[in-house]
Amino acid sequence: MSKAGFNQVESRAVISLSSLYLVRMLGLFMALPVLSLYADDYRQSTPFLIGVAIGIYGLSQAFLQLPLGLLSDRIGRRPVIIGGLLMLTAGSVVAATADSIYGLIAGRFMQGAGAIASAMMALLADLTRESNRTKAMAAVGASIGLSFMLSLVIGPWLTDNTGISGLFMFTAALAVIGLLIALFVVPVPVDDAEPHGRAPVLSLVGEVLRDPRLVRLDIGVFALHLIITALFVVVPLILLERLGIARQQHGWVYLGLLGLSFVGMIPMLVLAERRRIVKPVFVSAIALTAVALLALSSVTQNLYGFLACLFVFFVGFNYLEASLPSLVSRAASRASRGTASGVYSSAQFLGAFCGGAGGGYVYQEFGVQAVFVACGLIAIAWTIVALAMPGPVYLRTITLMLDDPQSSGNMSQRLRALPGVCDVLIIAGAAEATLQVDDHSFDDAVLDDLPVQVA
């Protein structure tokens, strides 16, 4: 294996944890496109309470993500991950056996209480070298995106064949598969069985919340997941009741829309990076979703118009969903990157809860069109927030060979002190250093006075 590739342990960690993410998130997401269609199956059901049931998993995820991540620092990653999967299993069984809307809400809340994303990402970081960590995180991110797409196809098909209780029992089975992966496939660091003995660095949370760039991105992911969850309160009903598309066909509709929109957003990603116009494209994508949402409110009885507007929305959604984590990693310092990701994830899940509950309330009180209008106004407000966001700094990577690897600690400090150096990576005992520099303020000539050679 090449130096730049994954070693055996890293490959096993990436494959197993990506698979664990896939089965876990698939179980949580599958209910999104179907719950509003089966509201009559539950006693005391109202549109608002169905919306709460759709999004309540996000509330428990949001509030437990950071505490469970900190707990994993104290007692080890694997105990927290196994406990979270057991909670997902129990919550799925409760939801499967519920006959009232309140029982369903309790089950969905328990599903979300297995908030192990931060512990799993921390374990992935534990098991991968710094030089491979970004690729590892990207692989896990891709598995989450894949789980969302699969859930929109599998959820309607499975529910049509097994009923809503069968869907939740399938989720419980997926959680058991996740347990087997965690127990027998995921590598375990030697020190994971012992308490780490270090206090949670809560000061990093304050640092993240005081950074205006990160706060704007957290607002963004909150708004994005509020909108997408609110849409799934009403879109399945429109497809069935107004556009005459049978329940069992909804999965194919979503698959076609998401597949085409994924192709449609690729040119945006390429253009943004190659031309270094990430911010203009990012803001344009938010504005695109706002236009699509407002247009959706006027075409709820027009099949082709509704599908066309949904396609435009998903183009913007897919681009934003892919771009936001990258922007967070660029904006956060290395020391606070894990904490920034935890806060970001909490904002994302909180948005899902507010979207489900808020979408259900607006639908109940003001009707279908009002949900699209409200979401469109939120997207407009987000566009205004994003306009004030500074664009990402474009950095150049320089690889250096150290004349004396034994002095790597001192060399790291000297390199960090150079004007224009934004990040320094030196692996302990290695003779290589990687710099991230801002070309506007870095002068390559300063390296001539140091005991290094440009590779």
**Structural domains in the chain plus CATH codes:** 1-187 (1.20.1250.20), 215-392 (1.20.1250.20), 396-454 (3.30.70)
For residues 412-434, average pLDDT: 74
Question: Residues 450-455: contacts with CB within 8 Å, 24+ apart?
Answer: 450/411, 450/414, 450/415, 451/402, 451/403, 451/404, 451/407, 451/411, 452/400, 452/401, 452/402, 452/403, 452/411, 453/400, 453/401, 453/403, 454/398, 454/399, 454/400, 454/401, 455/399, 455/400, 455/401
What pLDDT score does 194 carry?
Answer: 45
SS3 state at 335: helix
Whole-number pLDDT of residue 193:
44
Over the stretch 10-69, which tens digit does the pLDDT of each residue have?
Answer: 889 889 999 999 999 999 999 999 999 998 899 999 999 999 999 999 999 999 987 887
Confidence of residue 2 (pLDDT cuts 50, 70, 90): very low
pLDDT in tens, 143-153: 888 898 899 99
